[in-house]
Amino acid sequence: MASAAEHLAANINFASFSKATELKKRIWFTLGALLVYRLGTYIPIPGINLDALADIFSQNQGGMLAFFNTFAGGAVGRMAIFALNIMPYISASIIIQLLTTVSPHLEQLKKDGEAGRKQINQYTRYGTVFLAALQGYGIAAGLESAGTIVSDPGLFFRAATVITLVGGTVFLMWLGEQITARGIGNGISLIIFAGIVAELPSAIVGTLELGRQGALSTVLILSILVISILVIAAIVFMERAQRRLIVQYPKRQMGNKVYQGDSSHLPLKLNTAGVIPPIFASSLLLMPTTVAALSPNMPDWAVTLTALLGRGQPGFLVIYLALIVFFAFFYTAIVFNPKDTADNLKKYGGFIPGIRPGARTAEYIDYVLTRITVIGAIYLAAISLLPELLIANLALPFYFGGTSLLIVVSVTMDTVSQIQSHLLAHQYEGLVKKSKLRGGRRR
């Protein structure tokens, strides 16, 4: 069976798309959903003076406001209905997953299978609405305090802004779920990916224009290009890196035949958490400073907070680093349970050579996973922070930052894998049908 799968994988090519009807439908659905998302980033909230808003953004070039605008696909700069993007959903997911480790009720729901997961997802949706409402009210109050951005400030504007922003976030949450179910991958990650990629051409043009005007030297622009290529290469290498544990299966007797013991491997990714830690860390850092940046008449403590958490500042870098490392370990612990893996190996007769099945196997897997997660966390922190340290004080768009490249490259690799899986399944079904037809003809 393994050799057949490898043969199919080796023969996957672009000609297979013409026959994979289901895959083409999924791709078109995904593209259509992302197009709807992009259109929504151009629909402004009612009552906003876009010229005054553009002036505020011009004063915060390269700051946290531009940082958040990156993940929102430019929607913050236009104060569109999708200005909050999917960040409240991500924040709610973080809170629910943290509560799962301390709440017996949520922990039991997690063990209850599909029904429990649906209930946890429902709690996450409620949390998303609550957080979006809080953040939407903060943005509305910040816009009003700016003086000239809001044409008719008051209770009606605040209510309309909160309802609009909450509705936009809920719609994106639903759209992401639809892409996951009917599209070709993780809908939430694809929405963030689409926002970053859509703003990339204007960032490149802006950088080249700065070079033409003499604000940036040619050597500096080429250096940023080389750094970006090296970062992409490092991401591809690390995302594919695995630690493979040998798994041995004993001899089996079926009837009068004795089958020789087989060996396989248990792949442990160096970065099990994927792109989640930087996204989680960014979502927790962005909103407070974004609301503060929109308000020019801030109290002293807010001014201090904004200064400490400014892009490239020590406070921002330290907290960002700590959050990335924490979520790398936390999310790995959620998505990979060594005890369940050890129990499954024992159930099917598999064992790691030299390790006793059961609890000892779980301890060994946990030991190996912890060590490689340390490497994965260092890799995520380096990819996210090193470009920030290099370009924090340069007049360059944020889109060349490490976190953006990590999201774009990781989501691209995941999407390609999803497409290959669909093509593999399609070709396998075709081979099965052909074999059945041949069998029927022989009879």
Query: Please, what are the domains in the chain?
Result: 2-442 (1.10.3370.10)
User: Does residue 58 carry a pLDDT above 60?
Assistant: yes
User: How far is 339 from 141, CA to CA, in rounded Å?
Assistant: 49
Q: Does residue 326 or residue 402 have the better pLDDT?
A: 326
Give the pTM: 0.78
Give, for 267, the enclosing helix (H) or strand (E): strand 263-269
Q: What percent of the chain has pLDDT over 90?
A: 16
User: Among candidates 418, 412, 414, 425, which has minimal Cα distance to 20?
Assistant: 425
Q: Does residue 337 or residue 399 have the better pLDDT?
A: 337
User: How far is 385 from 334, CA to CA, in rounded Å?
Assistant: 25
Reported as a single tens digit per residue, the pLDDT across 220-259 is: 788 878 888 888 888 889 888 888 888 887 766 566 665 5
Q: How does residue 1 score in pLDDT terms, banded at 50, 70 and 90?
A: very low
Q: How does residue 408 score in pLDDT terms, banded at 50, 70 and 90?
A: confident
Q: Does residue 14 or residue 408 have the better pLDDT?
A: 408
The DSSP annotation for 220-233 comes to: HHHHHHHHHHHHHH
User: How far is 249 from 333, CA to CA, in rounded Å?
Assistant: 27
State the average pLDDT over residues 406-426: 81
The stretches of 241-358 forming alpha helices (DSSP H) are: 276-294, 300-308, 314-335, 338-347
User: Among candidates 77, 73, 82, which has minimal Cα distance to 40?
Assistant: 82
Alpha carbon distance, N-terminus to C-terminus of the chain: 25
Residue 374: how many other CB atoms lie within 10 Å = 13
Would you state the pLDDT for residue 8? 44
Lowest mean pLDDT among 56-65, 187-196, 348-357: 56-65
